[in-house]
Amino acid sequence: MSFSTKTRRRRRGGGAVSETFQHRSPDEDDNNNTSSSTTKSSLSEEQFILVANSLLDKVESAMIKLVDCNDGLEITRYPPTSSEESSTDHNVDEEDDESEVHLGKLSIQIESSGDMFWGGGTYWLIILPESSGLVKLQSPLSGSFSYTYNTATQDWESSGDGHSLLGMFTRDWIRQAKGVPEF
């Protein structure tokens, strides 16, 4: 197998862009990833909570519009919990997400359509405590991902690879249910 550092040209927005493929060190990659550092340094605790709750509001509002075209769709908004509430309410039979300490969360449960591969399940959006500055999406199709708010793009981006939370949610949703959420 050969590796090429050949220059490739492609058009973007009317002008030619030259792009050279080069191996970059991990230090260079860290300098170009602004997701977590932008969130941590730019948002106060109060701002983080406002932006995270705004995300839950946006998703809840979009999903309410899809209730009529999805039988058995249940949307539940949970208020913040503390570690004291979590320890007294914890039941061995409950899922971990239901007893997790959080600053607010939203569950979106969809019934199975009878398809063996795209069965039903519950989507969770969870605002994690302010010390972490994360929102977690748990999807029955893709699993669990953590997201930070990028103040430059005003989007929730994966702390792993930079993908959009709303993009991931929409992709999984349209594979499993009817309608496209209007975010």
* Residue pLDDT, tens place only, 145-167: 999 999 999 999 998 899 999 99
One CATH from 3.90.220.20, 3.30.920.10, 3.20.10.10, 3.10.180.10 for 17-176 = 3.30.920.10
Q: In the 8-state DSSP scheme, what is residue 164? A: B
Q: Are 144 and 167 in contact (CB under 8 A)?
A: no
pLDDT tens-digit readout, 37-46: 444 447 888 9
- Does residue 30 surpass a pLDDT of 60? no
pLDDT in tens, 108-147: 999 887 766 667 899 999 999 866 789 999 999 999 999 9
Q: Where are the domains of the chain?
A: 17-176
| Rounded distance between C-alpha atoms, residue 150 and residue 69, angstroms | 33
pLDDT: is 26 or 99 the higher one? 99
